[in-house]
Structure 1
Amino acid sequence: MPADIRTDIAHSARVWNYWLGGKDHYPVDATVGDQVTFLYPSIRDVARADRRFLGRAVEHLAGTAGLRQFLDIGTGLPTADNTHEVAQRVAPASRIVYADNDPVVLAHARALLTSTPEGATAYVDADVRDPEKLLEAAAETLDLDRPVAVMMLGILNFVADTAEARSIVRTLLVALPPGSHLALTHPTLELGGEGNEAAMVFWNENATPPIRTRTGAEFAAFLDGLEILDPGIVSCARWRGTDPSVAQFGAVAVKRG
């Protein structure tokens, strides 16, 4: 185990893995995950809905939208139907770059580094707070002069400052050509998520990294200048899906010009 992986404090990637039924976590992650679930019983539904959103979004992007390049930022630990698996199932020539700066994820990266012969899958150790460096690393696998689908599922909630979070999104999209898409999810206290507040207080006192929610208006601001695809900004469970609503916004948008 790498020396920089701490097992004495819960970590988001491992707790999320625990909620999704994975095995890549430690006792402290299960303990914190169970307490968060006690305070906010629908958190597992949120985790599952976010994962299903990823599948539907990638199927659309690789299928109807015809994209062949994906940049998945803050990918977390691998579970079933990762971005590269969904994209390459639809279009085998798809090229996928996963980006994360979590040593736990890095230690498991080899599980992500699989690909069809026609396509490519890569992992870069990069921080979302340094989007220029992240793009530079991604360019070793992706052609940034061609449209890219940027996946940012449950990652901007770890960027506490909203202005910084908006700047990150702008920097990424400005660097990419028209036809590029952004798939985004983010927790909220709206959409029935009021019970999440106590759980987040507990999380921020007992786990890392700290997390925050945002309003619908704040979420919409991340998509300024982009054309939001139907059905708009909704619960991620309801984005072209029929699962019960959860307190997690989801949207997919395209850069037109």
Structure 2
Amino acid sequence: MRTVFTAAAATIVLLASTLTAQAGVLNYVALGDSYTSGPLIPQQRSDPLGCGRSKSNYPAIVAARLGAHYTDVSCAGASTVQMAYAQPTVSGTNAAQYKALETYTDLVTVGIGGNDFDLFRTLIDTCPLLRASNSTGNPCERRFAVNGVDSIKAGIPKISERIKEVLSGIHVRSPRARVFAIGYPRILPPSGYCPNELPFADGDYAWLNSVEEALNAAISDAVKADGNSSYVDLYGPSLGHDACAGTAAWVNGRNDSWSPGAAAYHPFGIGMSGMADVVFQQVIRP
């Protein structure tokens, strides 16, 4: 009996110690694509390296400010599909992002949608090539007009439905977590042009802005339909920090940059800091 009592007592002491250590510690999980992971922003993590996951992205900054234990499984190129399915990268495989969620998870941020139906990639691969054909017009907008219908914007409501499903999947796996869907920061200025940084035809700037606005609205709409999560607007707070803003830019232009680090058309470290400010303020709001 003495041996049993001693073992049981030791187990209770160990359990009590563990619970005390964990008490009050926020368990935070970050899901998302490259606008969450931060490709080329120093220092890059290697779990896997192909995800372009930075130790200085907004989840890392927010977690540090909250004093939270955090798990970041965001990955460049991820779409809503990668929430439930593994994602092969150039240097390893990123597990299905849902796998990071636990029943005890307290906080989840998810920044996703821009890669669904190859939305961002299609625009980046197509629009710069059309500038030479009509630099002051809107050749890219016209390229995607099919029988008077904007084929790019026509697909965005489907992205909203997918994001709503993602939010539902998060709630099932982490029922007590506060969930925040993160929008995308402004890439283009509301007026003016900087073709050296953003090589789009002048007339396409307004259209591309409207596409990003539609994507952010789709994320917001998914949150409203979900009814149990919150939307974090980064588009409004990033006014004046678009890729044309010089040293104030949160987002890089067309060229990969190693100093300061940022992949083409992706946030700089300063952008991640600005995004973290916005996310943090909303997370701590009662």
Same fold (TM over 0.5): no
Give the number of the structure whose residues are more often helix, by fraction: 2
Larger Rg: 2
Structure in which a larger fraction of residues adopt strand? 1
Structure 2-normalised TM-score? 0.38
